[in-house]
Amino acid sequence: MAAHRVRRAPNLRAITSPDPVELAPGVIVLPAPCTQRRPGRDLTEAMAAPTPDGCLRIGLGHGAIADFSGEEGAAGIIAPDRAQRCGLDYLALGDWHGRMEVNAATWYSGTPEADGFKHSAACCALLVTLDGTARVRPVETGSMGWQTVTLDLLPGDDPLARLDGALPLPMMRRNLLVRLVATGRLPLSDRAALDAAAQAAAPDFGWFGHDLSGLATEARPDDLDGIDRAGALRQAAEALLAEAGDGDRSAAERAVAASALSRLYALAQEVGA
């Protein structure tokens, strides 16, 4: 079987050891490559390695500077002042998928393209200038935007106007992935209208999802009359309304009931139109 040749850019180099690397004359990279997912120690300690006088010392590492488990002194956490401790002109870190400035000489660049809703800042590469101090300028690289749109609604609000004001203009939607989250409470008719408007807007976006599970439903007698005044449909509507407001049920069950009631109302309006 013929061997496959892997093509790579001529300036791309895989660094697999902590040995200093001369990137250019007078520019030394002090790497701390990952040895495993949780190495159990701060690998960036190796960046204290000596280099010739007058060289730029650039650290390159991967890992967290904070432990989110709440444990004190967790092993493997990178010292936030590593650049100062090791005399680095700049410390470039990976692991955190969002761009983050730790201090003037230490940054997480983030990812060149977003991969989730967690980080709202535009995805960038960092253009770093070292001339005695580190000057960092983000250069946008991402082509897709991820946004979470939140609406907190109450009876009397115009949910369609609120939605229209919160979403970007139509010509800006194609490359956006949007998650709409609505909370509060609305009359049944307004909730159904919001649900329908969200579904109508969805094709404009690269991806669009809407979550109305946190939106309580208020139904007046005339709202249920809009479904049916009697018979099986009316009984189904009353049962769903009772389930949506039943505190003994789980939040997920109440959300399903409220969504079903809203959909039943919308279907009834379409049939009656």
- Identify the pLDDT of residue 234: 83
Digit-coded pLDDT (tens) for 111-143 = 888 888 887 677 889 999 999 899 999 998 888
The structure's pTM equals: 0.69
Digit-coded pLDDT (tens) for 72-117 = 446 678 889 999 999 999 999 988 788 889 999 999 998 888 888 8
Decide: 161 and 130 in contact? Cβ < 8 Å. no
* SS3 assignment, position 254: helix
Task: Tell me whether residue 122 is exposed, middle or buried, using C-beta atoms within 10 angstroms of its C-beta: 0 to 12, 13 to 18, 19 or more.
Answer: middle
How many other C-beta atoms lie within 10 A of the C-beta of residue 151? 22
Decide: 145 and 158 in contact? Cβ < 8 Å. no
